Amino acid sequence: MSDKKKWMPRWFYQLASPRWSYDIMGKLLPGFAIAAFIFLVVGIVWALGFAPADYQQGHSFRIIYIHVPSAILAQSCYMMMAVAGAIGLIWKMKVADMVAKSCAPIGATMAILALATGAIWGKPTWGSWWVWDARLTSMLILLFLYLGVIALHSAIENEATAAQSSAVLALVGLVNIPIIKYSVDWWN
Mean pLDDT of 76-100: 94
Query: 49-82: per-residue pLDDT in tens?
Result: 888 888 888 888 888 999 999 999 999 999 999 9
Q: Are residues 158 and 71 in the same domain?
A: yes
H or E stretch covering 79: helix 64-91
In a domain, residue 34? The reply is yes
Number of domains forming the structure of the chain: 2
- Please give the helix or strand (H or E) that residue 40 lies within, else none: helix 18-45
Average pLDDT, the chain: 91
First to last CA, the chain: 55
pLDDT tens digits along 116-175: 999 999 898 888 999 888 889 999 999 999 999 999 999 999 999 999 999 999 999 999
Same domain, 73 and 134: yes
Structural domain that includes position 148: 63-186
- Tell me how far apart the alpha carbons of residues 137 and 4 are, in angstroms, rounded to a whole number: 43
The residue-averaged pLDDT of 33-50 equals 93
Strand partners for 155:
none
Residue 56 lies in a domain: no
- Domain identity same for 46 and 88: no
Judge whether 21 and 32 are in contact, CB under 8 Å. Answer: no
Contact 92, 160 (CB under 8 A): no
Q: What phi and psi values does residue 58 have, to the nearest 5 degrees?
A: 70, -135
91 and 21 in a common domain? no
Q: How far apart are CA 90 and CA 93, in angstroms?
A: 8
Q: How far apart (Å, rounded) are the C-alpha atoms in residues 50 and 144?
A: 36
